[in-house]
Amino acid sequence: MHVKVLVVQVWHQVVVVAVTKRIILIAVLLAQTINCATAAVLPEDRADVMFHEYDGGGVEINGPSVLVRKSVGKSVSAYAKYYVDTVSSASIDVITTASPYKEERTEIGAGLDYLHEKTKMSLSLTTSSENDYEADTTSVSISQDMFGDLTTVTLGYTKGDNVVGKNGSASFRKDIDLKVYRVSVSQVLTKDMLLSVAFDTMTDQGFLNNPYRRVRYIDAASATGYSYQEEVYPNTRTSNALAFHLRHYLPHRASVYAGYRYFVDTWSIQADTFDLGYVHAHEDNWLFEISYRFYSQSQAEFYSDMFPYFDAQTFMARDKELSSYTDHTISAGVTYEFAKDGFSVFKKGTVNLYISHMIFDYDNFKDLTVQTIPGDEPAYRFTANVYRLFASFWF
């Protein structure tokens, strides 16, 4: 199946989504853009070890992640990462049209950053594999500090070569090609305020729907009043996203941040994302954070919860992530810094715990576990919790 949870750490800020693989890639690229839109310095040498767990909507996802970064001389920094997802799913899609399943996805990646004066060039390679999906992603970017190091401009390009399979059908192999172009600008507005603006254009081509998912249509001959057929998507999709992030540092060792992201694609989906957060340091070792995120989108033009008849139109989808829905996420986190004077080969370390509570409300995706007149089922909604426990070590 093709639903995953992504957990991306951008220093103390964490982005969490539980959506399709394509939206996961968008979130990864957004995180990379924000990460690249900093001053032209090499990242610190550090190691991160994380365990995450997602539980909601009949889906459980958990697994470890390890990332190690080390400088080579004064101009090069290299990293390697390892990430595992173990998925157990009995989601609303699964229990109404298929059987619960369990699978594992493994991802490995490596990258290089090269710094020359005020220019930083980055290259990353990532490959992931599961029983019915393989993905290879290559990303390059270049960032330049200018105007007295108050402005950083970053240009990036990502190419993804993916292969979709289907359990029970060894001959089923479909390609997906993805290309992403991005530009971001980070601007120091005052000594206490930083603004980042990022724009992404993404194109997909190939088999873009889920080979297991089906749409329902009215069928008077069926005992339930409806039947199912395979969904059909267009084989191309182009999307654009524009994001603004503002961070203000407060005098009492705290900061507030806010952001907005607008998304639109050729499938007629429009989405708005708002986020707001507060970070507060306590004494010399503690850091607390609380944030709120709101997401809202319109439906794809070929989406319907129930079509009027078999083969009602050329393209048909009943993926809840293509419907009209909203998502509220409340997150809280705490970081404890220890061994500030160093221990063993490490300079210092931190232990971090983040908890997020997510509420999904779907406007026109119906809960088919409720038996009633077809089309009169209540709108589907569910909640989910995400837990992230990780430790970081500087060396």
Distances (CA, A) of 344 to 55, 73, 212, 315, 336: 37, 22, 51, 60, 19
pLDDT at 193 over 70: yes
> By percentage, how much of the chain surpasses pLDDT 90?
79
Token pair 């996961």 in the structure block, residue: 24
Note the pLDDT tens digit of each residue in 201-252. 999 999 999 998 999 999 999 999 999 999 999 999 999 999 999 999 998 8
Q: What pLDDT does 305 receive?
A: 97
Q: How confident is the model at residue 189 (pLDDT cuts 50, 70, 90)?
A: very high
Q: What is the mean pLDDT of residues 341-361?
A: 93
Note the pLDDT tens digit of each residue in 135-150. 999 999 999 999 988 9
Q: What pLDDT does 1 receive?
A: 41
pLDDT at 34 over 80: no
Q: What is the bridge-based pairing of β-strands 76-89 and 101-116?
A: antiparallel
Q: What is the mean pLDDT of residues 68-73?
A: 94
Q: Where are the domains of the chain?
A: 3-394
Q: What is the mean pLDDT of residues 41-60?
A: 94
Q: What is the mean pLDDT of residues 154-171?
A: 94
Q: What pLDDT does 39 receive?
A: 56
Mean pLDDT of all residues belonging to the chain: 89
Lowest mean pLDDT among 2-16, 273-287, 324-338, 375-389: 2-16
Q: What pLDDT does 346 receive?
A: 86
The Cα 346–Cα 15 span in angstroms is: 27
Q: What is the mean pLDDT of residues 325-348?
A: 93
More confident residue, 344 or 310: 310
Instruction: Let me know if domain 3-394 sits in CATH 2.40.160.40.
Output: yes
